[in-house]
Chains A and B, each alone.
Chain A
Amino acid sequence: MKNITSKDEAFQARIDAGEKIEPKDWMPEKYRKTHIRQISQHAHSEIVGMLPEGNWITRTPTLRRKVGLLAKVQDEAGHGLYLYSAAETLGISRDELFHQLHTGKAKYSSIFNYPTMTWADIGAIGWLVDGAAIINQVMLTRTSFGPYARAMVRICKEESFHQRQGYEIMLTLCEGTPEQKAMAQDALNRWWWPSLMMFGPRDEESPNTEQSVKWKIKRKTNDELRQQFVDITVPQAKVLGITIPDPDLKWNEERQHYDFGEIDWDEFWQVVKGNGPCNKERLQARNDAWNNGAWVRNAARAHAEKRAAQAEVSEAG
């Protein structure tokens, strides 16, 4: 064993040995930057992800659906907060993170740039979008950066109700009138491909994957996770009795996996670049929320100052 290793080698050795990295530990600058980018994108996705579903809170078909959806959207706010906290342990401020989101500098998951046009979309989002997110997040509970992994454990515990509430919505529609079932099919048709896109570009088009796997930020590649999602989801669609909109989808006995068709990568990159159906609307909504909420932040500050002043007076008296 050689005695002198570079800091980078020593760091890699810790990762290889399965050690977790904690915020105050030395880390390569690129490891820090990659994590800030990835954790903050994840946080922004939770926050922006509240918008398409928030759209339906006032119009749920029943009170049962309303309490469920409301709780889910509240969870997403909570998940955003856990993740912003984890990002801040790497030395970036919350204000900077918000600034990056509001100016459009930061990315968030492209799936939230699609509109929720019918009630069935809320079912499809819970089933497919949360289903895809869970596959990614379960992998991330074992990621090498401690605060991120811990936030993921907490999030995964809460997320499984999200998917079940979505699937139950789909199931109810599929057991309903022909019109309701058609609505569920229409939602699946629109959300299937964007859900597959959530796993990111194909492995050969994803230059960061190799380094991310080496640092155990990711423990599986985009294509592996996508395959896992397809294999899990196809039988779930069969239970619903609706059809996945992919003529190339079929079981491959040899691979013991489903083969599936090619994603429209032009659409994927268009939405990433800001040209999806709702990119502008989502960004505007976040900016409006931030600007219209300024008085609340100011009031909290004024209230804290008043309370501090009163405490001083009573101590002096």
Chain B
Amino acid sequence: MKGNPIWEVFIRSKNGLEHRHVGSLHAEDAKMAMENARDVYTRRQEGVSIWVVESKNITASNPSENGEMFDPAKDKAYRHPTFYDLPDELEHI
């Protein structure tokens, strides 16, 4: 079937928290995707805010390139606080 694309659904469970991906659904346009998302993903007050994004608009990293993508951060322990040697009696730092 042409049309009826897939939409990804993100829900903020309560104010103060981020939107989180909860799943996907099919809808003809954004407004209907929003209506469907409400019915499918918030039947028990799971959220206070919904985002719907057509799946084709998401650019995803490729897991087969995870090496060059994420490995460069591996050997940079100096970005973490424990890399720095300080005396034990030192406080509040």
Contacts and interface: CB of A to CB of B under 8 A. Distances in A.
- Chain A, interface size category, equals 20 to 34
B40 interface: yes
Interface stretch (A19-27, A56-64, A174-182): A19-27
A297 B4 contact: yes
B23 A24 contact: no
B60 A308 contact: no
Contacts, number: 52
Nearest to B31: A307
Contacts of B4: 94, 297, 300-301
Interface in A52-81: 71, 74-75, 78, 81
Interface string A151-164: 10010001000000
B11 to A, nearest CB: 11
Nearest to A307: B29
Nearest to B41: A78
Interface string A16-52: 0000001011100000000000000000000000000
Given A95-B1, A303-B28, A25 B43 contact: no
A308 B32 CA distance: 13
Interface in A138-162: 150-151, 154, 158
Contact of B44 (A85, A158, A304): A158
Interface in B1-57: 1, 3-4, 6, 22-29, 31-32, 39-40, 43-44
A122 B59 CA distance: 46
Contacts of A301: 3-4, 28
Interface in A81-129: 81-82, 85-86, 88, 94-95
Of B4, B23, B40, B62, most buried by chain A (CB within 10 Å of CB) is B23
B63 A78 contact: no
Given A78-B40, A158-B44, A94 B26 contact: yes
A154 to B, nearest CB: 8
A78 B39 CA distance: 8
Contacts of B31: 307
Contact of B29 (A22, A88, A308): A308
B64 interface: yes
A300 B28 contact: yes
Contacts of B1: 95, 297
Given A88-B6, A94-B26, A81 B64 contact: no
Contact of A81 (B25, B29, B60, B63): B25
B24 to A, nearest CB: 5
B60 A74 contact: no
B43 A88 contact: no
Nearest to B44: A158
A101 to B, nearest CB: 15
A300 B64 contact: no
A149 to B, nearest CB: 13
Interface string B52-75: 000000001011100000000000
Contacts of B26: 94
Interface of B: 1, 3-4, 6, 22-29, 31-32, 39-40, 43-44, 60, 62-64
Q: 6 tightest A-B contacts by CB?
A: A304-B28, A304-B29, A85-B24, A300-B28, A25-B63, A95-B1
